[in-house]
Homo-oligomer: A and B are copies of this chain.
Amino acid sequence: MIFTTKAEYGVRLMVELGRQAKPGGAATSLKAIAAAEALPLAYLERIVALLKKAGLVESTRGAHGGYRLSRTPAEITMDDVVLALEGTVAPMNCFVDDTDGSSRVLCSHESDSGHACATKLLWLRVQGGVMEKLAQTTLAELVEFSHREPAATASALKNEQEDLTHA
């Protein structure tokens, strides 16, 4: 399992915020989002706190308050979102995360018996692949994707897969 459902909820929350893309307009209450996406409200509160700490959303307190994006959806890449939620995208727990940007590699089987850690190469490649894909995807893309009818999902994903295969 690459990501936790916390990330899923967070991304879905961001998409919902991006759907009513009001640059500096009215805020959307968490209650509305929770109802629209059928997610537990109390849990969303904790998730959105992470997004706010990362500067991805802004909040307005009090009655008729809520949250709005601090940037336009096209300017938000998913690596920002996922990093804010998961803290780090480490392939393995032996990749110690400094949480001050990119996770630093600090594998425990280094220079033991005279040969390098065999798995580090593989994990680094995979991590690179994940981060690449996350950085390539903007929130605007997901918003646009979710606006299509579910019937169009199959073909859209087919195109995606083809793009991936001969990439």
- Interface of A with B (CB < 8 Å)? 1-3, 5, 7-8, 11-12, 15, 36-38, 78, 89-94, 105, 109-130, 132-134, 136-137, 141-143, 145-150, 152-153, 156-157, 160-161, 164, 167
Query: Which of B93, B123, B145, B150 sits near A111, CB closer than 8 Å?
Result: B150
The minimal Cβ–Cβ distance linking A109 to chain B, given in whole angstroms, is 7
Q: Which residue of B lies closest to A37 (CB)?
A: B109
A interface secondary structure, majority: helix
Are the CB atoms of B5 and A92 closer together than 8 Å? yes
Are the CB atoms of A149 and B109 closer together than 8 Å? no
Most chain B CB within 10 A, of A5, A78, A134, A145, is at A145
Are the CB atoms of B1 and A115 closer together than 8 Å? no
Q: A126-B2, A129-B132, A130-B2 are in contact. Are A121 and B145 (CB under 8 A)?
A: yes
Which B residues are CB-close (under 8 A) to A91?
1-3
Which B residues are CB-close (under 8 A) to A5?
92-94
The minimal Cβ–Cβ distance linking A82 to chain B, given in whole angstroms, is 9
The minimal Cβ–Cβ distance linking A36 to chain B, given in whole angstroms, is 7
Which B residues are CB-close (under 8 A) to A38?
109, 112
Which B residues are CB-close (under 8 A) to A152?
116
